[in-house]
Amino acid sequence: MNFKLPKNERLHSQKLIKELFDKGSSFFLYPFKVMVLEISAEEKGTYQVLFSVSKKKIKKAVDRNLVKRRMKEAYRLNKSEILTSGHPNKLIGLIYVSSEIGSFQFIEQKICKILTKIAESPESSKNAT
């Protein structure tokens, strides 16, 4: 299993980020708001993930970066759950909305739940609000 998180798996295109926020469906699993958008097969061939932490909730940049590093690591270690689902053309936005800095175990547990939800029900994640 490849445990890397290369640049082509990170969502960095301004056009795709805008499309995710405009057309994507979302659901909430504390402390994350998750945005999901299925894209056409010719655009990209893999999952792309966006990690975000609110400046309004966590004031210090050091703490925001700590939470983002924990989110990226938890995703990197558990991304195999969604890669085996067979629907590789999705944009995923993980937005941390809590004002407390979560431990790595807590964040990893929640990201595992999010990834299994995305992997097992691609249609229901479209219709979720």
What is the predicted pLDDT for the residue at 1? Answer: 63
pLDDT: which is higher, 88 or 57: 57
Give the CATH number of domain 15-127: 3.30.230.10
Per-residue burial over 61-86, b if 16 or more Cβ lie within 10 Å, else e, is eeebebbbebbbbbbbebbebbbebe
Surface-to-core class of residue 56, CB atoms within 10 Å of its CB (0-12 exposed, 13-18 middle, 19+ buried):
exposed
Highest average pLDDT, of 36-45, 55-64, 85-94, comes from: 55-64
Asked if 104 and 74 touch (Cβ cutoff 8 Å), the reply is yes
Higher-pLDDT residue of 122, 3: 3
Express each pLDDT in 4-39 by its tens digit: 888 889 999 999 999 999 999 999 999 999 999 988
Q: What is the mean pLDDT of residues 70-95?
A: 86
pLDDT in tens, 43-56: 656 789 999 999 99
